[in-house]
Structure 1
Amino acid sequence: MPETKKIKINTEYIKLDQLLKFAGLTMTGGEAKTAVASGSVMVNGAPCLLRGKKIRAGDTVSYNGVVIEVISQ
């Protein structure tokens, strides 16, 4: 079963590449960009190639065996 992390945001949204870095799944923004471009990042169960995709509370992001649940403050 994949590891699940709950990440709180206190803004309307966070961009996908920023979320990957903020959650500690990538070390740098460049690494996040590469991960998204490779097609290995899933948003709400579907592959996402848009690193600037707006992720809002209620969305889930999966990468490298970790599922991030985005929740609001």
Structure 2
Amino acid sequence: MTENRIVYISHAPVELYKVLKFENLVSSGGEAKHMIADGLVRVNGRVETRKRKKILPGDVIEIYDMCLEIQMDTN
């Protein structure tokens, strides 16, 4: 079963590996970079291997059985 989560960012763009790290889906930035390089992360339905891929509001990141929807924090 896929878990959906909304992730609020305070500025855009943000690098893909940082989103994974800040959401505690990995224990370090290095681990995030390895997972991305190994093709284990999808952005907007496509496998993404660029560690520094710029993530914007509206993007959807899939990792494990999680789906992260990126939204801008308006507060």
Give TM-score, length-normalised by structure 2. 0.93
Structure 2, unmatched stretches of 5+, are none
Tell me the C-alpha RMSD between the 2 structures.
0.7
Q: State the partner residue of 1:5.
A: 5
Using the alignment, how far apart are the partners of 1:10 and 1:72 within structure 2? 6
Cα offset, 1:13, TM superposition? 1.4
1:11-50 superposed matches below 5 A: 11-50=11-50
Q: Where in structure 1 do 4 or more consecutive aligned residues deviate above 6 Å? A: none
Cα offset, 1:23, TM superposition? 1.1
Structure 1, unmatched stretches of 5+, are none
Q: Percent identity?
A: 34
Give TM-score, length-normalised by structure 1. 0.95
How many residues end up aligned between the 2 structures?
A: 73
